[in-house]
Amino acid sequence: MSKVIVFAAPVFFLLIAIEWAWGLYKGRNTYTLSDAISSIGLGMLSQLAGVFTRLLRVGIYTAVYSSVAVWQNDAFWLSGYGWLLALLLYDFCYYWLHRMGHESAVLWAAHVVHHQSQSYNLSTALRQTSSGMLLGWVFYLPMALAGVPPFVFGIVALVDLLYQYWVHTEHVPRLGWFDRWFCSPSNHRVHHAVNDVYVDKNYGGILVVWDRLFGSFTEEREPCVYGTRKPLNSWDPLWANAQVYAQLAHDSWYARSWADKLRVWLKPPGWRPADVAARFAQPTFRLADVRRFNPPTSRAVQAFACLQFVLLMVGVLAFLWVADAQPLARMAVCWAVLCTGLWALGAMLQGRIGMLVMLLLEVAALSTATAALGLPEWHYVFKPLALLLAIIFVASNAHLTGVTSFFSSQNRLTALLLAALCCCGVGDVLLMLPGLFVPGLLAFLCGHLFYIAMLRQGQAWFPGRKALLATLAYGATMYALLLGYLPTALRLPVAVYVLVIALMAAQALGRANVLRDAASRWVAVGALCFMLSDSLLALNKFVLPLQLWGLAAPFWVLSSYYAAQILIALYAQPERVVRHFPNENAVKAALEPQASSTYQPVDLRP
């Protein structure tokens, strides 16, 4: 099934290009680059997640069909009448899934992804959830009970989904009699609108007859305003999937009544316990207050984003092409790389990170993946490159050009940070080469000493005594565990290393406790990630090979290692890193009035 999407992708993009060109020709362009990339990226993420939810999508259906189907008659279901009946049954089940997706908060939490875009075009059709099948499979069990074979179910599901692609456009007007029977562009525009008269209407996938039968139909009468009533205001694909879940978890946690803690998930979207609503008030939705989220981006960022988007798309299509034949653990590593790239692309378009940081994140992910997948030639390229990019980022961010003394008072913290990164970069190279474990260990030891000196700037030595005791206790425990497995020649070097990494973490935690700001806390998290990475590395090398959830030790060692390096590189200089995040004025500029966009009401005449 994954390969079908690979074949369909060129058609999707060709139709998007035609719609975009038509919009430009008619002077009514419905696309913005960031929104289109965000929507398609969410579709890519959904397809990636689908590889891991096959058990829910197919396995449970097949099990129910095989064991409790009322009437198994493949000859009928493979006939013309059988295919048509199966499609009608699927569309009927889809209607109720779709409707409940708007009437139950936990189902809305999954479905909301499709509605978050404030644009309405063919790229919006590709904007799909990554969590929909966690509960959505329940609605199709009646088909399994009726005896619809899994193969037929899969085909009609694909037909129903592909049909819905073309209705996501503003360039097709009302279609007369067709609108009365089928889901059409006009009918589906209504479904995506947040206008009071349109909310929770027109759920049909192929047939709109279901809406007419069950009282959820309305015609398009006034211009549609798209999005959700609690706007996402982000290009982050992970947050897009988690936004409503997080809000529901928040309200459920703070609700006093145990019944309300459950009702939060089952009631219609927007319902909140009275005590929670009073304590955490939210503004009332008004159509006049809707603003289009569109952070400004430079031409360079747009060009770079397009290049990255193409590369990610190629990666996703390659992933889908081989997904059915590869072990899930191997696919999980590739999934992590692609998710990192998609998140970084959204963050860059939103102005949260720059192009260099995006490259750093991607290269770190590729270094981790090539080690985990056993691709040493590529790993030898990406591993040193990741630290080199971190060094370039810190140096360019601090504007060290013109500094005459490496330890000048003005740039002491930055110089120490660069020295630490350089030592770690040397350690990375040495540890990749056979027989150079001890020199690599010494290089990292020097790096951690520089980190301690950097964290000491403006602070007392180890200001958090509890943190010092905790990290030293952890280090002692880890060393005691390793001691029986260490060669005699390594016992002293490893003991010194464990002491230094514990002191570094203690200094970072104490500094965070004194400064009490987000940047210092992230640096402390980075220091703890260092401890985790080194612990996993030592256990894997000296005690026993580690494998967690099917993933070998290199994945966990390097992912925690790069998390440490990147967090410290980004946040050790908060006054300089802040420019990589949108300030208040940038956020306000991103929320443009709908009237300032290129949106114009569609001609409603048939």
What is the per-residue pLDDT across 267-296, written as a single tens digit (0 to 9) for each? 999 999 999 999 999 999 999 999 999 999
Q: Compare 598 and 315 and report the one with higher pLDDT.
A: 315
Sorting pLDDT into bands at 50, 70 and 90, what band is 125?
A: very high
From the number of C-beta atoms within 10 Å of its C-beta (0-12, 13-18, 19+), residue 429 rates as middle
Angle value at C-alpha 347, between 23 and 350, nearest 5 degrees: 50
Crossing angle for the helix pair 376-398 and 355-372, to the nearest 10 degrees? 160
Q: What percent of the chain has pLDDT over 90?
A: 78
Sorting pLDDT into bands at 50, 70 and 90, what band is 602?
A: very low
At residue 571, does pLDDT exceed 50? yes
At residue 395, does pLDDT exceed 90? no
pLDDT score, position 29: 95
At residue 402, does pLDDT exceed 60? no
pLDDT score, position 577: 43
Q: Which tokens is 370 given?
A: 């090539």
- Cα(338)–Cα(357) distance, integer angstroms: 16
At residue 578, does pLDDT exceed 70? no
Element (H, E) at 293: strand 291-293
pLDDT score, position 82: 96
pLDDT tens across 469-488, in order? 999 999 999 999 999 898 89
Q: What percent of the chain has pLDDT over 70?
A: 92
CB 536 within 8 A of CB 557: yes
Give Cβ neighbours of residue 429 (< 8 Å, ≥ 6 apart).
Answer: 383, 384, 440
Sorting pLDDT into bands at 50, 70 and 90, what band is 260?
A: very high
Chain-wide mean pLDDT for the chain?
A: 90
pTM above 0.85, yes or no: yes
Mean pLDDT, range 147-157, rounded to an integer? 95
pLDDT score, position 1: 63
DSSP secondary structure letters along 304-337: HHHHHHHHHHHHHHHHHHHGGGS-HHHHHHHHHH
Element (H, E) at 291: strand 291-293
pLDDT score, position 453: 92
At residue 236, does pLDDT exceed 70? yes
Element (H, E) at 508: helix 488-515
CA atoms within 13 Å, Cβ hemisphere of 394: 26
Mean pLDDT, range 67-83, rounded to an integer? 94
Q: Which range among 70-79, 386-395, 542-551 shows the weakest confidence by mean pLDDT?
A: 542-551
- Cα(445)–Cα(469) distance, integer angstroms: 21
At residue 405, does pLDDT exceed 80? no
At residue 95, does pLDDT exceed 70? yes
At residue 401, does pLDDT exceed 60? no
Sorting pLDDT into bands at 50, 70 and 90, what band is 93?
A: very high
At residue 493, does pLDDT exceed 90? no
- Cα(594)–Cα(390) distance, integer angstroms: 39
Mean pLDDT, range 152-172, rounded to an integer? 96
pLDDT score, position 574: 55
- For the chain, the C-alpha Rg in angstroms (whole number) is 27
- Cα(222)–Cα(215) distance, integer angstroms: 20
At residue 406, does pLDDT exceed 80? no
At residue 462, does pLDDT exceed 80? yes
pLDDT tens across 502-514, in order? 999 999 999 999 9
pLDDT score, position 399: 60
CA atoms within 13 Å, Cβ hemisphere of 59: 9
pLDDT score, position 551: 80
Helix, strand, coil share (%) of the chain residues, nearest 5? 70, 0, 25
Task: Tell whether the torsion through CA atoms of 196, 202, 205 and 210 is positive or negative.
Answer: positive
At residue 597, does pLDDT exceed 90? no
pLDDT score, position 586: 46
Residue 548, phi then psi, degrees to nearest 5: -115, 125
Task: Delimit the domains of the chain by residue range.
Answer: 2-171, 299-349+353-580
Sorting pLDDT into bands at 50, 70 and 90, what band is 582?
A: very low
At residue 545, does pLDDT exceed 90? no
Chain centre distance of CA 487: 43
Sorting pLDDT into bands at 50, 70 and 90, what band is 408?
A: low
What does DSSP assign to residue 289? G
At residue 411, does pLDDT exceed 80? no
How many of the other CB atoms lie within 10 Å of CB of 460? 11
At residue 434, does pLDDT exceed 90? no
Q: Which tokens is 376 given?
A: 């040493």
How many of the other CB atoms lie within 10 Å of CB of 318? 13
pLDDT score, position 591: 52
